[in-house]
Each structure stands twice: as C-alpha cells, then as structure tokens.
Structure 1
Amino acid sequence: MEPKLPVSGAMKVAIYDLDKTLVRRATFTPFLAFAARRIAPWRLVLLPVWVLMMVGYRIGLYDRTTLKTHGMKLMLGRPDLGRLEAVGEAFAEHHLARAGWIGEVVTMAEHDRAEGSVLVVATAAFEFYARAFARRLGIEVVIATRWDGSGIPGGNCYGEEKRRRVTEWLAVQGEVSSVRFASDSFADAPSLEQADDAVFVTASPRKKARAEARGWRVVEGL
C-alpha cells in the first residue's frame, strides 16, 4: 500500500494515467526491447514470439496479467529488481527523447500542482519504470503494476483493479475534497466514473464523442 501523505485539512488529488496520457506513446513493448538490449541482447530474436503473444491476448486466449508475466520472462529472464529499476531509469530518458510528453496534459498537471493538488500517477505500467517517468514530473505517488521477480502480485493495475487500488490509497489520505482523474483509455472507466472531474485524453473524434456522451471532459492531447 502507498504511504499516507501528511495533509492539513481536506486535500485535492489529481490522478494521471501514464501511457498516452502523460507520455505520448505506449511504454511496455518499447521497454521490453530496450531492456533486452541491456540485459540479454540475444533475446531480441524472440520479439516475433512476443508479437504473437500479443495477438493471443487480443483474441482472448489469456488476460493482461498473464501476457505481461510471460512477456517479462520471455524477453528479460529474471533479473533482480535493482537491475530493472536501473534499466527503467535509462529507458524513461530514452523513451521521452523519442516520444515526448503530451504537453497539454503536463500543463494541466502543473496547474493542479500550483493549485495545491497532490499529484498521482496511476498506471498499468510496471512500477520499476513508471516511477522514473513520474520523478521527471516531480510526482512522488505512483500506483502501478508490481513485479516480484517472477510474477505480478495482485494482478495488472488495470481497469477495475486500478480503481480498487486508487480507492484504497484515497481511503488512507484523510479528508479529500476533490479528485481529478485523467486517462486516454476506456478501460479506466471505473476510475473516471468515480472522479469529481473526469478528463479523457484523445485526438480521435469517435472517442471524443463517446467520452463526452459519458459526461467526461476531453483534452485533445494526441
């Protein structure tokens, strides 16, 4: 569980997804390729197998937790967490140099900080590299998928599981006056629906219409 933050009185919270919300492109497959080059370069020949595994997920053969668990083992083996954190730090720098932040969303986060909100990153990305991205924005609280060296304890931090973890974290913060939640994914509908200010990030007219039909504010950030 994330540590309780010291607060005086009610606090405002602004929660941001990572992939395609703060960061312009998805992170997991790029991380696997980047980390394989650093940890086990010979495993790069297995990238086509990883692509086939993603196809298997999309046709419903297994869930995201299973996909990510096997992807980690396939492409990286079982490096210790310290090694993964070090590679994750380098990956964040590398990925941002190529993909960049979504400026409109980062500006929103900076405005939230200036208004006194506690900033949180809540993401399905693995915690060992999600924290590296969050640090670059000065965000200390990260709710993310955990890795114990061989599996994903508690499951992938995605959809309803993300909502559960966010709710659990909020419950120990004391009095919270408002919650903003920003995401690019309809999988985050459970978290968006319970937020006081739901922000959907997209440049797609179709997705914009769907989000607005649900009463969510839209930021055209991609």
Structure 2
Amino acid sequence: MNRIALYDMDRTITRHGTYSGFLAHMALRVAPWRLVLVPIVLIVMLCYILGLIPRGRSKEINQWLMMGDRVSREAIRAHVESYADRVVARGILPGALAQIAADRATGATLVIASASYRLYVEPIAARLGFDHVIATDHVSQGTQYLRAKISGENCYDLAKLRMIHAWMMREGLNRSECHIRAYSDHVSDAPMLDYADEAFAANPSRKLRILAKLKGWPVLDWREG
C-alpha cells in the first residue's frame, strides 16, 4: 500500500496566504516603481471577489502589474529563493510541521497540492522536506523566461483534483493501491478531501468547518503547539 499525504499550502501549512506577499517581495527587489500600481492590484482583486473576472485571470493580471509579462528566470532566481527562506523562517504553522514529521515517519510520500505558483511553492516544499509539488504552472518562453500567464489550469477546486489524478498517473500510482490523507483549510478543497481515505480540516474557514461537521472530517488547529 502506497501512503500519500496531500497538503494544501496557503493557510494550511502557512500562517497567511503567500501570493500577495510574493508579488510584493518581487516588486520591491526587481522593480520598486511597480508598487505605485498596488491600487490597481486591489481593484483586480475586488473584481475577482465580485465575480467579474475568473480567479486564474486575476492572478495573471496582478503578476503582470507587479513583475511584468516577460521575466528572466535567472534574474529573479535569488529573489524567489529569498522569499522561500522568509516564508519558512516566519510563516509556517508549528502544528503543520509536527504533522508533516508524523506523516514522514509513517513512510508517506509528502505532496503539496497548491493553487499558488510552482515557481515559489517548490523551494518552500524543498525546505520542508516534501517529495512532490502539484501547483499552478507558468507559461514559459523557452526555458529562460517566465510569462504572466498560467499554463494549463489554475490548481484550484476540481482542477486541483484533476491535477492530482494526472500526477498519480505519471507516477504509476493506482488509486486502489494507495492510502491517501489530505489536509486543507478551505472549502474549495472539498473535492480533494472527498477523494482521500482520511480527510482533515486544518485551521478551517467557516464554510469548511461546517462541511467538516457534515462529513465527519476531524478538525485540526495547527496554529499552536
């Protein structure tokens, strides 16, 4: 039996969401003048909340505003790594670290499945000892440049589950031969939690707390301990 532990990242493992912090970090270090565009970023976020633009498109627009449309991967590499250092040093929930260690001790394959961009999820995951990352990918021009455009699907809701299925196929993992644990803070991860053999609502939002009660999923608070 293959043991797999699937973790959402933002507000499940981390204290706060990471995307806005990432954009601010990159703007400060690469092009500080872009911070004057923050009011437009806030307008874009409001348009997403009001349902005027899709989630994935709002991410693309805000990255374009804060980082530009075509960015050299080599030029931003050190800044991406420094952001990962900052998140791991200050922003990881203590209970999440304990659970990650416990799952590792059982021999489980540790996987982060996150709507955040692979660009910075991977270095965070590496620092925490994860084995694999399933995340939103960027379109690249060749191998040198990063574009402010999503490749494939935004790793969110049902799309996240589809991407988990695709990852399992690539790894040659048969669902009937796997025991899956899944952890998330947000109701959008209900498809992933339903798919798991063991589902946990970690630091849950109000909607997920209600759903967890209906489903009988244990509720975990990783903010202490």
Amino acid at match of 1:70: I
Q: Which runs of 5+ in 1 are unaligned?
A: 1-9
Question: Does the alignment pair 1:193 with 2:191?
Answer: no
Deviation at 1:207, TM superposition (A): 4.3
Amino acid at match of 2:84: A
User: What is aligned with 1:95?
Assistant: 87
Find the partner of 2:130 among 124, 130, 139: 139
Q: Which runs of 5+ in 2 are unaligned?
A: 140-145
Deviation at 1:86, TM superposition (A): 3.0
Q: TM-score, normalised by structure 1?
A: 0.89
Q: Matched residues in 1 for 2:107 and 2:207: separation?
A: 34
Deviation at 1:97, TM superposition (A): 3.5
Q: Matched residues in 2 for 1:29 and 1:190: separation?
A: 25
Q: Matched residues in 2 for 1:84 and 1:199: separation?
A: 36
User: What is aligned with 2:173?
Assistant: 174
Question: Does the alignment pair 1:53 with 2:44?
Answer: yes
Residues 34 and 66 of structure 2 are in contact (CA less than 8 Å); yes or no, is this contact kept in structure 1?
yes
Residues 13 and 179 of structure 1 are in contact (CA less than 8 Å); yes or no, is this contact kept in structure 2?
yes
Q: Secondary structure at the match of 1:152?
A: strand
Deviation at 1:221, TM superposition (A): 2.2
Q: Secondary structure at the match of 2:65?
A: helix
Find the partner of 1:152 among 132, 150, 153: 150
Runs of 4+ in structure 1 over 4 Å off: 203-207
Q: Matched residues in 2 for 1:139 and 1:65: separation?
A: 25
Amino acid at match of 1:173: G
Q: Matched residues in 2 for 1:110 and 1:97: separation?
A: 17
Bigger mean CA deviation after superposition, 37-46 or 199-208: 199-208
Alignment of 1:36-47 (within 5 A): 36-47=27-38
Residues 7 and 113 of structure 2 are in contact (CA less than 8 Å); yes or no, is this contact kept in structure 1?
yes
Deviation at 1:205, TM superposition (A): 6.7
Amino acid at match of 2:31: A
Q: Secondary structure at the match of 1:91?
A: helix
Count of matched residue pairs: 212
Q: Matched residues in 1 for 2:76 and 2:117: separation?
A: 10
Deviations 1:92-145 (A, max 9, x none): 2223344x2111122111111110100001001100100111011111300001
Amino acid at match of 2:222: G
Deviation at 1:212, TM superposition (A): 1.9
Q: Matched residues in 2 for 1:198 and 1:13: separation?
A: 12
Bigger mean CA deviation after superposition, 78-87 or 52-61: 78-87
Q: Matched residues in 1 for 2:165 and 2:178: separation?
A: 14
Q: Matched residues in 1 for 2:202 and 2:153: separation?
A: 25
Find the partner of 1:33 among 21, 24, 47: 24
Deviation at 1:81, TM superposition (A): 2.8
Q: Matched residues in 2 for 1:20 and 1:57: separation?
A: 20
Q: Matched residues in 1 for 2:4 and 2:88: separation?
A: 25
Residues 187 and 207 of structure 2 are in contact (CA less than 8 Å); yes or no, is this contact kept in structure 1?
no
Q: Secondary structure at the match of 1:79?
A: strand
Q: TM-score, normalised by structure 2?
A: 0.88
User: What is aligned with 2:162?
Assistant: 164
